[in-house]
Amino acid sequence: MHRMHCRAAVRDLRLIAAAGEFRPLARHRRRRTRQLSVEAALGATNRCRTARETAVAFRTCENRFNVAARIPIDHFAARRVGPKSLSTDPLRSDEEMRALFAERARPILERHRRQSCASVFLLRKRYSEPLFGKVRVWDLIDRLSGCVDPTDQRLFGASQHVHVGQMLDAMEADGIATREWVLVALIHDLGKVLLLTEEDPANIVCTNGPIGQNDPGAGLDNCLIQWNHDEFAYERFKDLIPDELAWLVRYHSLEVAEARHLMDDRDLERTGRLLEPFAHYDHATKTPFGLPAAPLERYRDIIEEAFPDPIRF
């Protein structure tokens, strides 16, 4: 029985070490600390004569492991989620959680509003060349599963991958899921893969409006518009898809009311025929509670047909 307790103690300590539950400052210290902890457990428990002594020895080794790690476990949890975590207090109401989300989104929205002509030109130059190299478009769509818009209070933490699925569900239900609509729905937010980089989210998400001096009726392409994921994706797809779909990708986050006076006849026609209907599915379908009915894989053939080769992204 005593040997069984010893083996169980060492097994438990090995499991703790393997799981990384106690985490030292540096990787080389982590490996060394785990090794010393298990060796200490082996030595200590082998010298014990009773199950009680075995338990005491195991707890002593476990405590020493914590001391060697220098950093308490809950400190790492705090660093991962940051201050004002949305998940540390299970008693918070839904309204309180949403208020916290909005509070964290506010400075990002403010930074986006402060974009200047100079910052737009700088961002255009920064991303004038491919960032990810040559990649398959379907692989980019898969990456949307790791992209969460930190300002989108309708998705409230749901990924962009889920968002695209919600759009397609609604389009299918309304009988408008043509190959063109499905194609643009799948790719319209691919610029948000920038969320996986070190770029400031304020330059990736949020809606856009005109900045600087623009002449009424000049046409959107001749005006200076705030920069975000729309422009990033447009620059990659403009020569690969029909012009009006590229236009929709470029302006799908546009605040139409702020920019309508700048539109030319082409913009006005496309806004009524494409942008406003698309915006309905882009915005009205968002929810953190609705899982898409069909996997996006169902539409993969549309992407592979439109982009048979990797693209520069």
Looking at residue 86, what is its pLDDT?
53
* Segment 184-210 mean pLDDT: 98
- Give the SS3 label for residue 292: coil
The answer to whether residue 17 scores a pLDDT higher than 50 is no
Could you give phi then psi for residue 210, rounded to 5 degrees?
-75, 150
Looking at residue 255, what is its pLDDT?
98
Looking at residue 91, what is its pLDDT?
73
Torsion of CA 62, 63, 67, 71, to 10 degrees: 80
Q: How many other CB atoms are found less than 10 A from the CB of residue 45?
A: 24
Burial of 244 (0-12, 13-18, 19+ CB in 10 A): middle
DSSP readout, 194-255? GGGSSS-GGGTSS-B-B-S---TTS-GGGS-B--SHHHHHHHHHTTTS-HHHHHHHHHTTB-
Q: How many other CB atoms are found less than 10 A from the CB of residue 305?
A: 10
The answer to whether residue 8 scores a pLDDT higher than 70 is no
Closest CA to 65 of 31, 25, 36: 36
Average pLDDT taken over every residue of the chain: 81
- Give the SS3 label for residue 38: helix
- Residue 272 has what DSSP assignment? I
- Give the SS3 label for residue 41: helix
pLDDT for 114-150, tens place per residue? Answer: 999 999 999 999 999 999 999 999 999 999 999 999 9
pLDDT for 19-69, tens place per residue? Answer: 443 333 333 334 443 343 433 443 444 444 444 554 444 444 444 433 333
Q: 93 pLDDT band (50/70/90 cuts)?
A: confident
Non-local (6+) Cβ contacts of 151 within 8 A are 105, 108, 109, 201, 205, 206
Closest CA to 185 of 242, 240, 252: 252
Q: How many other CB atoms are found less than 10 A from the CB of residue 87?
A: 10
Looking at residue 64, what is its pLDDT?
41
* Segment 148-168 mean pLDDT: 97
Q: Within the chain, what is the greatest distance between any pair of CA atoms?
A: 90
What amino acid occupies position 83? Answer: P
Q: What does pTM read for this prediction?
A: 0.72
Q: 89 pLDDT band (50/70/90 cuts)?
A: low
Note whether 146 and 275 are within 8 A (CB). Answer: no
Share of the chain above pLDDT 90, in %: 70
pLDDT for 240-294, tens place per residue? Answer: 999 999 999 999 999 999 999 999 999 999 999 999 999 999 999 999 999 999 9
Looking at residue 250, what is its pLDDT?
98
